[in-house]
Amino acid sequence: DFDYFVYLFYLFLLSVLGNGLVLVICYRRRKKMVGSELLCVNLAVVDFLCCICFYPLSILSSFHHGWLGENITCVYYGLGCYIFGLCGMFTIAAISMIRYLKTSISPPFSVFMLRANINIVCCSTWLIAAVWSSFPLFGWGKYVPEPYGLSCTVAWRGYHTSAKDAFYVICSFACFTMVPILLIVVSQCQILYKVSRFSHLLSARHICNNRRYAEKQLSMFFCISLGFVIAWAPYTIVSFLFIFHKGSQYMAPEGFVFPALFAKSSHIYNPFIYFYFNKPFQKELRCLLLSFCSQNTTAKNKTTFGETQTGKGRYVLDNDSLLLIGCPGCQSVTNGNSSSSFGFKADWCPEVVLANSIPFKDSGYSDSLTKLIRVVRVT
C-alpha cells in the first residue's frame, strides 16, 4: 500500500503540474491555435481533471488499506475514471483520424477541419463517454472495487451474472476499446506511409525545412498515440482475460496493481511530448518563466527607468509588464518584433519586452504594442 501511495502521489503531482502548464500555455496562445490543436487541449483537460477529481480518493484509500466510503465513493470513482478514460481514448482516436485526413483529403473537403467542427468533435467525445459510462447507474453493468481494493472500475466479471451485464461488458471491449485502438493504429500506419513517401520526395529535391517540420509533427502525434496504446495494453489484456474466468482467484492482487498503475502513467508523458516536439510551446514556456521572474522582481522593488525630455513625468515598471521610457511628441513604434524606424529590435513575447528608451506617443500606449505593454505614468 505504501508503494502504491508513493507512486500515485508522484504521478498526481507530475500530471497536475505538467497538464496544468499545458493548459496555461494553450490559454496564452489561444488566438494562435489551429483547430486540430484543440484536441490536444481536450486531452490535457481530461488528464488534469482526472487526477484532480479522483486520484486523491485512491491515495487516501492506500492509507486506510482498503477502499473508503463503501459503494457511493466506488461508483463516483469508477464512473468518473471511466468517463475520462473513454474521453481520452476517443480524443486520441480523433487526433489520429484527423491527422490522417489532413494528409489524404483534397482541399475542398478541408472545411471539415475547421475550428468549429473540431469543437463539435471535442464535445462529442465527452457526450458519448458520459452516456455510455452512465449505463451501470441504470442496471446495465456496475462499478466495483478492483481486486487489490484501492480503486474501482467496471465489473468485468459481470459477464457471468446477467445478460445485460454481459452485453455491457462485451460492448465496452468491442465497441469502446478495440474499435478506437484499431482506428489509432490504422491511422498512424497510414500517416507513416504517406509521410515517408513525402519525406523521400523532398529529400530527392533537396528540400530539408519542410521535411523536418513534417517529421516533427508526425513524431509528436505518433508518440502521443503510441504511448497511450502501450500504457493501456497490459490493463486491457488482464481485464479481458478476467471476464471469462469463473474461479474465485484469477491471479494475485499484484497482477492487477502493476497494469493499473502503468495505465495511469498515460497522464504524465503527454506534456513532455508537447514541450519536446512543439517549438511554439517551448517559446511560450520561456516567455511564461520570464514573465513570472519579472513580476516577482517588480513586486519586491519598483524600479524607475528614466524621465521624459520635458521632465514632466516618468515611466515605471508595474506588476503587469516591463514598461519602457517614453518621450512626448514621438511617433509610435511601427513593428515591435522587427527593426523599426527608430532602430529598435527585440525578441519579445506578450508579457515581457526587453528594450531601452523606445519612443512612445504621449498617450501612454504604443499602437503596435496595444494589449502587450501598458505604460504607467507617475508624477
Q: What is the pLDDT of residue 157?
A: 80
**Cβ(360)–Cβ(324) under 8 Å?**
yes
Strand intervals (E) in the chain: 143-145, 152-154, 304-307, 314-316, 376-378
Q: What is the pLDDT of residue 124?
A: 94
Q: Report residue 154: phi and psi, to 5°.
A: -65, 140
The CB density around residue 71, as the number of other CB atoms within 10 Å, is: 13
Q: Report residue 61: phi and psi, to 5°.
A: -65, -30
Q: Which residues of the chain have pLDDT under 70?
A: 1, 105-113, 199-217, 246-253, 295-379
Sheet with 376-378, edge to edge strand ranges: 304-307, 314-316, 376-378
- Tell me the pLDDT tens digit for each residue of 7-64: 899 999 999 999 999 999 998 888 888 777 889 899 999 999 999 999 999 999 888 8
Q: What is the pLDDT of residue 318?
A: 37
CA dihedral 177, 178, 184, 189 (to 10 degrees): 160
Listed residue (74, 46, 62, 79) closest to 10, CA to CA:
62
Q: What is the pLDDT of residue 303?
A: 40
Instruction: Please report how the helices 279-300 and 266-277 are oriented relative to each other, as an axis angle in degrees rounded to 10.
Output: 90
Q: What is the pLDDT of residue 129?
A: 96
Residue with cell 495511469: 264
Q: Which domains does the chain have, with CATH numbers?
A: 2-277 (1.20.1070.10), 295-379 (no CATH)
Instruction: Please report how the helices 37-53 and 2-28 are oriented relative to each other, as an axis angle in degrees rounded to 10.
Output: 140
**Cβ(141)–Cβ(176) under 8 Å?**
no
Q: Which amino acid is at 362?
A: D
C-alpha cell at 302: 519598483
φ/ψ region of 357 (left if φ > 0, alpha if ψ in -120 to 50, else beta) reads left
C-alpha cell at 121: 468533435
The CB density around residue 112, as the number of other CB atoms within 10 Å, is: 13
φ/ψ region of 70 (left if φ > 0, alpha if ψ in -120 to 50, else beta) reads left
Q: Which amino acid is at 186?
A: V
272-276: long-range pairs with CB below 8 Å, 24+: 272/18, 273/220, 273/223, 273/224, 273/227, 274/22, 274/40, 274/220, 276/220
Q: CA gyration radius for the chain?
A: 27
**Cβ(318)–Cβ(298) under 8 Å?**
yes
Listed residue (12, 296, 252) closest to 146, CA to CA:
252
H/E segment holding residue 290: helix 279-300
DSSP string, 83-118: HHHHHHHHHHHHHHHHHHHHHHS-GGGGGGGSHHHH
Q: Which amino acid is at 19?
A: N
- C-alpha distances (whole Å) from 344 to each of 91, 175, 181, 202 are 44, 59, 53, 38
